[in-house]
Amino acid sequence: MTLQLVLITAAAIFCVGLYGALSQQVVVMVMMGLELMINGVLLAGGAVWWFLAPAPTGQVLVLLILAAMTLEMAMGFAVAVLLHRQRGTDMTDMAGDLAR
């Protein structure tokens, strides 16, 4: 396993997530695309730290970012559930007027 192969895989995951986030209108699907994009960045960052400086500080930072990402996705799903309960829809164009 080389650094280039891991970075190509991370770029592919990021591109799939970008396509998913930009092409979907359902809130959950957009959040899944964002999750894939963040996972691609995390994979690239972890691979660079592993191959260039295998100090444990890089892996700890990746774990902290992963924990923050988990909390962010839980909050996003809570907003999606609230949107579905309040408006009866899960489309992104209806999420703009959720505050009213």
Contacts 24+ apart (CB under 8 A), 1-6: 3/47, 3/48, 3/51, 3/52, 6/43, 6/44, 6/47, 6/51
Pair 49, 58: CB distance under 8 Å: yes
Rounded average pLDDT over 42-61: 82
Among 7-16, 27-36, 52-61, 78-87, top mean pLDDT goes to 7-16
Distances 57 to 13, 29, 45 between C-alpha atoms, Å? 24, 33, 12
Instruction: Please give the residue range of the domain that contains residue 51.
Output: 3-90
In a domain, 97, yes or no: no
Please give the pLDDT value at position 64.
85
How many structural domains does the chain have?
1
Can you give the pLDDT at residue 5? 95
pLDDT digits (tens, 9 = 90+) for 53-88: 777 776 787 888 888 888 888 888 888 888 778 777
Domain annotation covers residue 50: yes
pLDDT at 97: 62
